[in-house]
Amino acid sequence: MTRHRHLRFAWTMALGLLCPAMCRPDPARITDPTRPVCELGRDYAILQWFTSKPAATRVQLRPGSAPAGTLGPNGAPTAPWANARVRVVQGTAGERMAHRLRIGGLEPGRRYSYRIYDPAADPTGGERRWGAEPPWRREYSFSTLAPVGRKTIVRIPIKVLLMPNVWNVASACATAPHAPPPALMSDREIARIKDEYAIAARFLFINSHMRVWYDFHFYVDARIQRWGDEPAEAPPAYRGLPLCRSYGGEDYLGPGGGTFTILNTKQVATANDKPVAEPLPFVGQIEQAFPRRWNDALKRWDFYGSGGGTYGIDGWPDGIPGRSQFLGGSDTAWLVTHEFHHQMESLGAFSLANREDDRIVFDHFAPRRRTKKADGAWDEWVWSTSWKHGEHWDGIAYFDRMLTSVQWLRLHFGETMTVADADSDGVPDRDPRLPFDEVRFGSDPGKARTDGAMLDLDKAMLSSWAPAPLTATWDKTSLRLIRPAPRKRDSDGDGWADGVDPHPLYPWLPFIWPATPVLDGDASDWAGIPLSGRATFEGGEITFRQAHDDAAYYACIELKGPWQRLSIGLDGEGEGYYTTESTYAFEILSNDGPNGAILRPSGPNRCPGLEWRAGRNGAGLVTIEISIPNRGQGLWYWQGGGREVGASISGWTVDRKPFSVYEPYDLFYARMLERHGRESLPPDAPAEIQPGPGVQEYRFDQGSGPWTVGSGWSIDGGAMAYSHGPEADNQLLLTGLNAPDFDILAEFEAANDFHIGAWRPATTAPSNVTDYVVFLGGFGNARSAIRADGQEVGAEETGLTSGRHRVQFTRRDGRLWVLLDGKPFLHGRDHDPAAAIDRLGFLGGWDGAQRIYRVLVRLDGPKGLGP
């Protein structure tokens, strides 16, 4: 052993003299200071733990890959803690409750299992199943770092049973004449399925920081098998077929469509439910049958689609691996990833501390919650499974990247091994066994930073490596995948180096532009607004733009070509697709009508307040415009610039081929920009009202009439004038109304702060921050604005000039307008257009010396105004 170490050292030194860039050593250590294994090196590990009572710091340690109790080749459970290779490592003398122990003298790239000395602990039945024997706790494991020029990884062996030729005989016999048998699945089609597993393995490997290799071993039962009963009238071609082992007594048995067995790799054709002794036990298993039923309407055989079902590793001490089961008509790559990730969550539960900060996260997405139900019970989701990420692939990629390398190297199952990584960049050099290496990435195995800036591992992980939006395997086509360029510092060519670019794979500026487009299904008023996304697909193209003003968020999508469906998610809180209840999820479907598209909410909140318009031009270009209101009926709210919105856009063509504007289910986050200069008002402003039918005129030279007059207001020289008084009683109100829409015009003078407003019945004390208020010349006669429920929805940095003016406040068709001296001045969206108001009027004060000479009022609603 000593001679081998010397030889390795001499080789490394010689290599360094020839190529200095290749001899950067692996990290001497990796740390994880708040978890049980807090540091790993090549020849040591540091553990930390807590005991409920003072105890000596002491650990049992053994080398090896298989957990205690694993069935051996003879079918009996192993007892490795009785082995002579077990050693006891002592810490500092004395007893304590908080322990920290450095274990030295270890071999590089090797797995070790350990048990902590805790004589006060009484192991549970579950802990005893996993190796606990008083005074020792149950066993856990860690793997040391590899020697210089190599990388430690964990190989998880998985046996996969494919059953490609499974027929629903009853469906073939339900027609006259009977349906012809389908062609057997070809070698090429089976290879396509295996490619789906390879895609899943690559995705999971890269997102584990290239620490865990999911090694799928395939076993094919190519016999023709039956799904369901054999009808009595079955013709010879369909008679006597063996029943598929996955058939569970129903045509579809949820969640994965069928039932579970245990694969004996030496007897593939035999259904089995007993433990199987294997020389190197498979950690996991997947059963995938490909049942087909006859579609008489289309005269073809169709594969069954399915979800998936999974059992965890709980049965390992009984010789049962983790198991997943699903059928073959859906997205195989996704089902492999999603369902085997459930197996990994179980591996994590038995390998890590199984606490909120030390787990492989459950891949069903939901934020923490605790909600009281009607029956008094609590609906709880205690451990969050939602952060700043998108759906499906994007969520799992985010979860697995949350784990540190130390956590991945604490896996208690599978095989620890080392692979070549000469430049210590974290990416294996050239290893066809693995799902990914430098050769397939296109980076240089002799340079840790192929682009001269980023470590190659970090460069590769700029992408999630998600393959496509969820699509049945048989409908997929090759996609132009969005991937980092390993030899370029700027992968997307936008002028920002990948290491600082907020979206290094997308060349579009991450901004939402200040503008007020009109929703009419015509993109002409989006001209000049930069793209937020673009993608091409077979025979077509999609573009995406975004804008905002104080009233709403806007988006414009343009499509040409043979598209069929879009799936869009918009995160208006900037916290992730699932983290809040305010994500807007909807589908856009192509149709043959004049507008070319329809929009259909798909999320649980049903997209409140969302408006849309679509149009198709003579060249077949379809434009879809949407708006989401700021407050009011909508779920989003913001003020000015800076709010972050994430967008995910997936699509499918008429022949079900997928495409995506960004990486599949990735959210492209952009921020609302601040506005400069005066906002352009919409062209459909109301006209100034005039005396006449339906308009009530009030003058104050003959008294206050129906107006309710607060203290501080009095008639002076034919005008209602405000001098002074308490703010709580500064109103001049017309009461007893009931109308959703109104126009109120006042002829007035004021030094500053002229306030005109409308209030709902529930408001007990009208003020300048309740319901609907317009102020002119506020903030030192420097600003004028419309407020809706205390928030500005339209504003100008403009005050009042001396002399008389006319101001009109209009609420109509979900819009709020202010006219000043007969000209449109302010505009905003009404957040609650259906709500009726019962008071109109004015507020005095703020040293504004307000004087009102004449008022015109027009109401639309069930109760108008008398003379």
Q: What averages of pLDDT result for each successive group of 10 residues across the chain (867 residues)? A: 31 31 58 98 98 98 92 88 92 98 98 98 96 97 97 98 98 94 97 98 98 98 98 95 98 97 96 91 97 97 98 95 98 98 98 96 95 94 97 98 98 97 96 98 97 97 97 87 95 97 98 93 96 95 96 96 98 95 97 95 95 95 96 90 97 96 98 87 92 95 92 94 88 95 97 97 94 97 93 89 97 94 92 91 96 96 47
Question: Please, which residues have CB within 8 angstroms of residue 464's CB and are 6 or more apart in sequence?
Answer: 203, 207, 393, 394, 397, 663, 664, 666
Last residue of a domain, one of 102, 130, 145: 145
Q: Is 570 exposed, middle or buried (0-12, 13-18, 19+ CB in 10 A)?
A: buried
Residue 663: the pLDDT is 97
CATH of the domain at 531: 2.60.40.1190
Picking from 91, 118, 145, the residue at the C-terminal end of a domain is: 145
Q: Which domain holds residue 573?
A: 511-672
Q: Give the residue from 676, 682, 697 showing the smallest Cα distance to 816.
A: 682
- 186 in any annotated domain: yes
Q: Which pLDDT value is given to residue 15? A: 29
Tokens of 590: 């192509």
Give a yes or no: residue 626 inside a domain.
yes
Distance, in Å, from the CA atom of 48 to the CA atom of 40, rounded to the nearest integer, reads 12
Confidence at residue 535, expressed as pLDDT on a 0 to 100 scale: 96
Q: Is 62 in a helix, a strand, or coil?
A: strand
Task: Note whether 636 and 757 are same-domain residues.
Answer: no
In this structure, the answer to whether residues 194 and 333 fall within a common structural domain is yes
What is residue 861's predicted lDDT score, i.e. its pLDDT?
61
205 shares its domain with 280: yes
Residues 206 and 335 in one domain: yes
Total domains in the chain come to 4
Handedness of CA 167, 169, 171, 177 (dihedral sign): positive
Structural domain includes residue 5: no
* Structural domain contains residue 44: yes
Are 130 and 160 members of one domain?
no
Residue that terminates a domain, selected from 336, 360, 384: 360
Report the candidate in 222, 226, 199, 275 with the shortest Cα–Cα distance to residue 473. 199
This prediction's pTM:
0.87
- Same domain for 726 and 649? no
198, 273: one domain: yes
- Residue 563, classed as helix, strand or coil, is strand
Give how far the C-alpha of residue 385 lies from the chain's centroid of Cα atoms, to the nearest Å: 10
Compute how many other C-beta atoms are within 10 angstroms of the C-beta atom of residue 707.
21
What pLDDT, on a 0 to 100 scale, did the predictor assign at position 84?
Answer: 81
Q: Do residues 71 and 182 share a domain?
A: no
Q: In this structure, are 57 and 166 located in the same domain?
A: no
> Residue 117 maps to which CATH number?
2.60.40.10
Closest among 562, 567, 624, 566 to 595, alpha carbons compared: 624
Pair (155, 138) in one structural domain:
no
Q: Counting beta carbons within 10 angstroms of the beta carbon of residue 656, is it exposed (0 to 12), middle (13 to 18) or buried (19 or more)?
A: middle
